């Protein structure tokens, strides 16, 4: 029995001394009673020198202050601390980072009997963390730089778009005069230029709206109670003029009043009808239907022809969406994105249903027959 | 009342004589948890958290104001005035000993006596003055803070969990004590370890007790003796307690010495 006990004792001793982490036992005041081989190796003190030192005596200066002002209080108050990185200062002047767990051992509730410390080397880990931290700083810097660039570019586009409007309106004015010219050829050329200018104006407006939403302001609307019919008719007249030979069929109650931003609803309709005219079947009319059903105001634009593919439908309302397979003369692909933004500003929805029977874009807004 | 919230001021005790306990760098008013109950019967106890520590209002922290100990001293005066206190017995730990001296000189009528635990007017050695640290050591400390090396200003929250052995520390408390806002801890360390209050200590003219620990790496014995020499009529007690926090390590001895001084 006795020899067994001795060999157990010996094994424990060996485990303590040869362990791959550092062990320290200190008295209740934090004075070291004993440390194992790792502690001796890491600190440079021998067994005798270690004995009687405070735990903080083997730490670097910042570790020592941290320990005395933060960790010792924490240990006394909660009985332990875990996973704290500290630095052991070797007598030769080198330093080693260790993770420390400490725990008070109590025989009764109030009086700690001794304190255990376990130390694990973590200098490689620290280097890894420092690299991560550096990489993050670099990435943050790069990101801030890129963000500033993007903002600048969007501001440039906004200014450019805005400034293009003035010369364009001069062109459009001159074109109207040309259209009225008695010379037949000139009048014909005037109509062509007018159509293109009209299209160009639409594109510029879309770009401006797009940059406004991108710059974080969102589309701002001014709602008022209006008769909707004249707004719709105006858009249809303009589009009929610019795309000759196509029929646009309108169903609308001329007494219907709606609380909305008339310019924006006009813009939305214009975008939707332009799309329908250019993508829908050329042999069928485009239909515009305007209804008030109970508390819902509905505006639909319908065309016949090839349906929009399932894949395209998923990204329809995102900016710069182009109708993949189909040849397009529709520029930037901002039209539907702007429409969706206008709907959003009205707290309304804009949806698309497209199948072999028809393609229908539907704007739905809660509205109590013209009330707010 | 925002002042009370700003510093999480707590008033306890049955007596009229005010005794104010002020924690130093590291931790918060919990530093006094083993000490103040001994005075509840006969004193009016004032506890609070320095702005940036414990449950103080972090939004009240101003780098400029708290870059000097005077900023903290002004808070002490404001609290004393708000609570309409007079003839306060001031108990300051660590750097708050100096803050208390500054406050007592700015508003002499408020304070009756000073009890300074582990005080140091200057942490850096200077010619014949022994502060305990060389300038390169303090520079190393500040640099390590700036690099967030060792993560020593880390928030302590994840460390603090239920403590089976000390049941009196409920959930609510255990989540807050010693919690440190990293940025503020960094600045408080700078304010503390670069402070030099040696010029003002000789002007102290109220009864003063200096409690000097054995083997305190933050405020060595020479510092306690220096203060004892400069502060006329002061009492210096060399405690058996080791380390920098006798209020936690040796509360009985701390209470005994404070009582002895007050009677």
Nearest to B248 among A63, A77, A80 (CB): A77
Query: Are B179 and B30 within 8 A, CB to CB?
Result: no
Residues belonging to chain B: 263
- Token pair in block for residue B90: 């001031």
Contact A104 B33 (CB under 8 A): no
Per-residue pLDDT of chain A (372 residues; tens, 9 = 90+): 455 678 888 999 999 999 999 999 999 888 999 999 999 999 999 999 999 999 999 999 988 988 998 888 888 888 888 888 889 999 999 999 999 999 999 877 667 789 999 999 998 988 888 888 889 899 999 999 999 898 888 888 888 888 888 889 889 888 888 888 888 888 888 888 888 888 888 888 888 888 878 777 778 889 999 999 999 998 898 888 777 678 899 999 889 999 999 999 999 999 899 889 888 888 899 999 999 988 899 999 999 999 988 888 888 888 876 655 454 445 567 889 889 999 999 999 999 999 999 999 999 999 865 455
- Cβ-Cβ contacts under 8 Å, B33 against chain A: 77
Q: Verify whether the Cβ–Cβ distance A62 to B163 is below 8 Å.
A: no
Measured CA distances, B123 to B195, B230, B246 (Å)? 8, 16, 19
Known catalytic residue at B244: yes
Average pLDDT, chain B: 87
With an 8 Å Cβ cutoff, is A297 touching chain B?
no
- Provide the token pair at B13: 């005790």
Alpha-carbon span A52 to A55, nearest angstrom: 9
Q: Which residue of B has its CA nearest to A57?
A: B217
**Which among A30, A73, A80 has the least Cβ separation from residue B31?**
A73
Which candidate in B94, B120, B195, B197 is catalytic? B94
Which chain A residues touch B146 with a CB distance below 8 Å? none
Q: Are A273 and A239 in contact (CB under 8 A)?
A: yes
Who has greater pLDDT, A111 or B163?
Answer: A111
Decide the pairing of beta strands B17-22 and B88-93: parallel
Question: ipTM of this predicted complex?
Answer: 0.84
Give the confidence band of B172 by pLDDT, cuts at 50, 70, 90. very low
Residue with tokens 């600045």: B187
| B205-245 pLDDT, tens digit each | 999 999 999 989 899 999 999 999 999 999 999 999 888 99
Could you give the CA distance from residue A292 to residue B184 in angstroms, rounded to a whole number? 61
Q: Does A61 touch chain B (CB under 8 A)?
A: yes
% of chain B residues with pLDDT over 90:
71
pLDDT for res A310? 86
Backbone Cα Rg of chain A: 39
pLDDT confidence band for B18 (50 / 70 / 90)? very high
Who among A66, A77, A86 is closest to B177 (CB)?
Answer: A77
Provide the token pair at A164.
């293009």
Closest by CA to B242, choosing from A51, A86, A68, is A68
Size of interface A-B (CB pairs under 8 A): 114
Note the pLDDT of residue B148: 63
pLDDT given at position A48:
95
Any chain A CB within 8 A of the CB of B219?
no
Tell me whether residues A70 and B169 touch, CB distance under 8 A.
no
CB A36 within 8 A of CB A17: yes
B234 is catalytic: no
CA pair distance A353, A359, nearest whole angstrom: 6
pLDDT digits (tens, 9 = 90+) for B52-100: 888 899 899 999 999 999 999 999 999 999 999 999 999 999 999 999 9
The end-to-end CA distance of chain B, in Å, is 34
Considering only residues 22 to 51 of chain A, which have any Cβ-Cβ distance to chain B shorter than 8 Å?
29-31
Residue in B133, B138, B150 closest to A87 by CB: B150
Helices (H), chain B: 2-6, 69-82, 95-106, 135-146, 171-174, 182-193, 198-201, 221-230, 246-249, 251-262
User: How confident is the model at residue A192, as a pLDDT?
Assistant: 85
Q: Which two tokens stand for residue A366?
A: 């809660």
- A155 vs A160: CA distance, rounded Å: 8
Give the long-range contacts of residues A98-102, CB within 8 A, separation 24 or more.
A98/A22, A98/A42, A98/A122, A99/A125, A102/A71, A102/A75
Examine the residue annotation and report whether B216 is marked as an active-site residue of this protein. Answer: yes
3-state secondary structure of B161: coil
CB A97 within 8 A of CB B150: yes
Q: Which of B23, B97, B176, B244 is catalytic?
A: B244
| Residues of A (78-117) whose Cβ lies below 8 Å from B | 78-87, 97, 104, 106, 109
Test A29 with B242 for CB contact under 8 angstroms.
Answer: yes
**Nearest CA-CA distance, residue A91 and chain B, Å:** 15
Chain A residue closest to B188 (CA)?
A69
Taking Cα atoms as reference points, which of A275, A295, A299, A283 lies closest to residue A349?
A299
All residues of chain A having their beta carbon less than 8 Å from the beta carbon of residue B166 are: 77-79, 109
Which residue of A60, A72, A79 is in closest CB contact with B163?
A79
- On chain A, the residues whose CB falls within 8 A of the CB of B138 are 61
């Amino acid at each position: 029995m006795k020899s067994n006990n001795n060999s157990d004792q010996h094994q424990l001793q060996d485990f303590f001394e040869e362990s791959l982490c550092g062990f320290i036992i200190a008295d209740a005041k934090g004075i070291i009673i004993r440390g194992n081989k790792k502690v001796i190796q890491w600190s440079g003190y021998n067994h005798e020198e270690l004995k009687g030192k405070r735990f903080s005596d083997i730490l670097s200066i910042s570790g020592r202050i941290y320990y005395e002002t933060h960790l010792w209080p924490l240990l006394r108050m909660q009985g332990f601390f875990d996973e704290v990185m500290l630095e052991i200062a070797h007598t030769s002047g080198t330093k080693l980072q260790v993770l420390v767990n400490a725990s008070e051992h109590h025989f009764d509730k109030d009086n700690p009997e001794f304190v255990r410390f376990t130390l694990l080397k973590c200098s490689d880990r620290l280097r890894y963390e420092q690299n991560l931290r550096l990489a993050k700083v670099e990435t943050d810097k790069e990101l801030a730089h890129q963000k500033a660039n993007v903002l600048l570019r969007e501001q440039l586009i906004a200014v450019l778009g805005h400034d293009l409007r003035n010369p364009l309106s001069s062109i459009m004015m001159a074109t109207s005069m040309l259209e009225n010219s008695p010379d037949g050829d000139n009048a014909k050329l005037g109509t062509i230029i007018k159509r293109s200018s009209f299209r160009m104006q639409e594109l510029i407006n879309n770009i401006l709206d797009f940059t406004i939403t991108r710059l974080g302001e969102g589309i701002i609307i001014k709602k008022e109670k209006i008769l909707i019919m004249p707004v719709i008719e105006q858009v249809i007249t303009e589009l009929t003029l610019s795309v000759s030979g196509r029929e646009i069929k309108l169903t609308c109650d001329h007494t219907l009043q709606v609380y909305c931003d008339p310019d924006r609803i006009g813009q939305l309709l214009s975008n939707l009808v332009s799309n329908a005219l250019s993508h829908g079947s050329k042999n069928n009319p485009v239909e515009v239907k305007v209804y008030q059903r109970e508390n819902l105001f509905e505006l639909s634009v319908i065309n016949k022809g090839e349906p929009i593919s399932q894949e395209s439908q998923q990204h329809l309302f995102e900016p710069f969406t182009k109708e993949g397979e189909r040849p397009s003369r529709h520029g930037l692909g901002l039209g539907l994105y702007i429409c969706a933004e206008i709907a959003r500003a009205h707290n309304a929805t804009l949806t698309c249903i497209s199948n072999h029977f028809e393609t229908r874009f539907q704007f739905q807004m809660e509205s109590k027959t013209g009330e707010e | 009342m925002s002042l009370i919230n700003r510093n999480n001021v707590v008033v306890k005790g049955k007596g009229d004589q005010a005794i104010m306990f002020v924690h130093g760098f590291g931790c918060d008013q919990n530093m006094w948890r083993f000490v103040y109950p001994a005075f509840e019967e006969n004193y009016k106890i004032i506890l609070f958290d320095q702005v940036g520590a414990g449950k103080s209002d972090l939004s009240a922290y101003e780098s400029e104001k708290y870059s000097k100990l005077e900023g903290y001293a002004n808070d002490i005066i404001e609290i004393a005035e708000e609570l309409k206190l007079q003839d306060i017995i001031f108990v300051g730990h660590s750097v708050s000993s100096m803050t208390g001296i500054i406050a007592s000189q700015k508003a002499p009528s408020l304070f009756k006596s000073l009890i300074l635990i582990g005080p140091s007017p200057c942490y850096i050695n200077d010619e014949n003055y022994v502060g305990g640290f060389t300038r390169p050591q303090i520079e190393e400390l500040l640099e390590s803070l700036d690099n967030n090396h060792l993560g020593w200003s880390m928030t302590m929250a994840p460390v603090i969990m239920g403590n089976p052995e000390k049941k009196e520390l409920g959930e609510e408390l255990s989540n807050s004590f010693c919690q440190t806002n990293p940025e503020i801890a960094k600045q408080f360390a700078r304010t503390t370890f670069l402070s030099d209050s040696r010029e003002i200590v000789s002007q102290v003219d109220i009864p003063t007790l200096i409690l000097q620990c054995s083997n305190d790496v933050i405020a060595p014995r020479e510092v306690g003796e220096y203060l004892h020499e400069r502060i006329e009529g002061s009492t210096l007690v060399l405690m058996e307690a080791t380390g920098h926090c006798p209020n936690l390590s040796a509360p009985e001895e701390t209470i005994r010495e404070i009582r002895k001084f007050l009677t």
